[in-house]
Structure 1
């Protein structure tokens, strides 16, 4: 039996890594971070426990990569949803809706992710984060930015802040209000993207 080619081995490694990332999202969504072990993740992914440590230095790094992958996939699907639009304002609206939607659809997961970023490990650069960053940079470029790097960082900060506000225990901000603020910041019509409901009235009305 001839040995597998380098390309086949690379594809197998990619699939194994993605199964671990998917399993992490599923289990943390179901059980929470503390109740999920690396052994649980390996078992859900159908992989050996040692494979987790081969790809990731620890559970926190694994979780960040898993969430960044989820965010990338969600954003990519939103941007390429039919009818595909090349309009920068529509794509910005879809990006905002995609990330806010994650807070609504995966509250436990996203709350854990944001808490981890604020801890000692900080913001981890990984292939999944880089793919997400590429799409956000492309979004601000198509929107018309003359300084995509700075505007990408601002958009990232605004989206992270909005997700935290939606998920803040005890004092959550309504998603529609945060969407309205972001849309006003970028001069977007409420009807762009996927409106979650009627536009909220201005404060005090």
Structure 2
């Protein structure tokens, strides 16, 4: 049997990494960070445990990369959904709603993510995070910023603060309240983006939460089995 080509090997590595990222967000969302081990993640992904260490220096890096993947793909999907628009204010509204939506739909996962950023290892840059930064910077620019280098970090800080407030154990602020404050700051109309359901209509049921799997595809679009 002839050896696999470099292209095939690269594709296999990509799929293995995708499965590990997907398994990481699933398990942390289900169990929390501390109750999830690298062995658990490897088992869920159907990968050899040694592969985890091959791709990621440790659990913290893996989980941060996985959550940043979820965040940037969620944001990307929101910005590009139909009807597509170049209107800067609408794109800002969609960006805010996308990130707040993760806090609403995945509170355990986002709480663990925020807690991880405050650990000794702190913020760990990775390709997934850089893509998230690019999307948010572009959103700020399209919204009319004259100083993206200053305005992007402020938007990032405001979104992080809103997520933290939404998932804080024992004293969370509601997403509509947080949305109202952010929309006021950026002078956005409430009808923009995806306005939340009225208060008192209940939280997001498990069956209604958006599926994360589409953001961790292990095959190229169009190659999935019919």
What are the within-5 Å matches in structure 2 for residues 40-51 of structure 1? 40-51=40-51
State the distance in 1 between where 2:8 and 2:150 align: 39
CA spacing shift, 1:10–1:42, aligned 2, 3 Å: same
Give 5+ residue unaligned stretches, structure 1: 200-205
TM-score (normalizing by structure 2): 0.85
Report what 1:171 is aligned to: 171
Deviations 1:168-196 (A, max 9, x none): 11111111111000001101000000000
What are the within-5 Å matches in structure 2 for residues 1-205 of structure 1? 1-197=1-197
Deviations 1:20-56 (A, max 9, x none): 0000010111111111111110111111000000011
State the distance in 1 between where 2:2 and 2:88 align: 50
- Cα deviation for residue 155 of structure 1 reads 0.6
State the distance in 2 between where 1:147 and 1:9 align: 43
TM-score (normalizing by structure 1): 0.93
State the distance in 2 between where 1:11 and 1:144 align: 40
Higher RCO (C-alpha under 8 Å, 6+ residues apart): 2
User: What is the total number of aligned residue pairs between the two structures?
Assistant: 199
State the distance in 2 between where 1:192 and 1:13 align: 40
Give 5+ residue unaligned stretches, structure 2: 200-226
- Cα deviation for residue 6 of structure 1 reads 2.6
TM-align CA RMSD: 1.3
Moved more, 9-18 or 66-75: 9-18
